């Protein structure tokens, strides 16, 4: 009876001009603090055996992953469908601008997205389908193994929704911070969230 472990890893902090906005498909870099977070994350993960690494192609994810790769980690498998959600007309707008133009609070984005109320955003069904294709590829390829998935906050939420049959909006109850690790254990008889939102740059001593 094999146990598969997924480490769902959000990218580190992005450059300052993109903080507090709906970045989504904007291909941004990490901030100086983000690079520090990525280094702390690499130190934490270097103590774990990883059978495989999957990653979004976006720069903020690739830069978060880079410090780990110099420590002998497996070469990453890049999955284009792991890119962050497309926020449509909200893309590039600050939380304040979304409030002013669309009357929506930033913290309601999951409900708005699920209801199809973000203009020109990708659909919930399309988003789920592309992320689910990645989840299936990972699980088919590495049963009983430990796999790291470097991606985005929204993608992490969708993976949790897929694995545990949550509504996407229900994942608003979970904090998914920059450079955080959420570990999921998948067994034939049950699955569980083993740890949620571990932030090595904050929670662990150097």
Which contacts qualify for 47-53: CB closer than 8 Å, 24 or more apart? 48/7, 48/146, 49/146, 50/7, 50/74, 50/146, 50/147, 50/148, 51/142, 51/145, 51/146, 51/147, 52/77, 52/138, 52/141, 52/142, 52/145, 52/147, 52/148, 53/77, 53/147, 53/148, 53/149, 53/150
Report the CATH fold assignment for 4-20+30-87+123-203. Answer: Rossmann fold (3.40.50)
Output the CA–CA distances (angstroms, integers) from residue 63 to 18, 150, 155, in the order listed. 16, 10, 17
Which residue stretches of the chain have pLDDT < 70? 1, 205-206
Domain locations in the chain? 4-20+30-87+123-203
Q: Which residues are paired to 7 by β-bridges?
A: 148, 183
Taking only the tens place, the pLDDT of each residue in 83-113 is 999 999 999 999 999 999 999 999 999 999 9
- Asked if residue 112 lies in contact with residue 41, where contact means CB atoms within 8 angstroms, the answer is no
Rounded distance, CA 205 to CA 53, Å? 25
Average pLDDT, the chain: 96
Q: How confident is the model at residue 47, as a pLDDT?
A: 86
**pLDDT value of position 3:** 95
- Quote the pTM value: 0.96
């Amino acid at each position: 009876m094999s146990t598969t472990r997924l480490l769902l890893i959000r990218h580190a902090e992005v450059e300052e001009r993109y903080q507090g906005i709906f970045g989504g498909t904007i291909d941004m870099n990490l901030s100086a603090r983000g690079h520090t977070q990525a280094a702390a994350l690499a130190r934490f993960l270097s103590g774990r055996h990883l059978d495989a690494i999957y990653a979004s192609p976006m720069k903020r994810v690739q830069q978060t992953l880079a410090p780990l790769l110099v420590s002998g980690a497996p070469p990453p498998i890049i999955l284009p469908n792991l890119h962050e959600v497309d926020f449509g007309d909200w893309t590039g707008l600050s939380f304040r601008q979304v409030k002013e133009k669309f009357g929506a609070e930033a913290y309601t984005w999951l409900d708005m997205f699920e209801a199809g109320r973000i203009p020109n955003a990708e659909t919930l069904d399309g988003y789920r389908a592309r992320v689910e294709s990645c989840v299936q590829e990972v699980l088919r390829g590495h049963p009983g193994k430990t796999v790291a998935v470097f991606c985005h906050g929204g993608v992490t939420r969708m993976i949790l929704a897929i694995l545990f049959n949550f509504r996407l909006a229900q994942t608003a109850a979970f904090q998914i911070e920059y450079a955080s690790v959420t570990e999921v254990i998948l067994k034939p008889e049950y699955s569980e969230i083993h740890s949620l939102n571990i932030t090595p740059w904050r929670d662990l001593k150097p």
